[in-house]
Amino acid sequence: MDTPIPTRPKRTQRDYTLGFKLAVVEEVERGDLTYKQAQDIYGIQGRSTVLVWLRKHGKLDWSSTRSSSMSKKPETPAQTIKRLERQLKDAEDRQYLMEKMM
């Protein structure tokens, strides 16, 4: 006897505009929502989609959401240079703002 196998509706991949992504990233970085809350509220399908957006478009360091007690791999020289260049640019921007404010 053939019993019909229940089928679930197929999930479709959704494309999100850059503006939408940036708006979600901004809300999460402001602290209005967690990235998981943003997923639920906006119906974003992928479990790590918002995290990927935060790493790509965010201003904060979202490179690792795991506990800092876990062992980290040592940085490669290229990663160290990139991190230091980013820190230098941030310091220069802060200095510029301070000079303009004075």
What distance in Å separates the CA atoms of residue 14 and residue 8, rounded to the nearest whole number?
18
| Whole-model pTM over 0.85 | no
Q: Is the pLDDT of residue 67 over 50?
A: no
DSSP-assigned letter for residue 9: P
Residue 2 lies in a domain: no
Residue 5 forms part of a structural domain: no
Q: Find tokens 């918002």 and name the residue.
A: 50
Q: Please, what is the average pLDDT of the chain?
A: 81
- Domain contains 68: no
> What is the three-class DSSP state of 65?
coil
On whether residue 70 sits in a domain, the answer given is no
Neighbour count for residue 44 (Cβ, 10 Å): 19
Is residue 66 situated within a structural domain? no
Number of domains in the chain: 1
Give the torsion sign (CA, 29, 35, 37, 43).
Answer: positive
Q: What is the pLDDT of residue 81?
A: 92
Residue 81 sits in which domain range?
A: 18-61+76-101
In a domain, 39, yes or no: yes
Checking if the pLDDT of 74 tops 50, the result is yes
Identify which of 70, 65, 43, 33 has the alpha carbon closest to the alpha carbon of residue 52. 65
- Domain annotation covers residue 97: yes
Kindly state whether residue 1 falls inside one of the protein's structural domains.
no
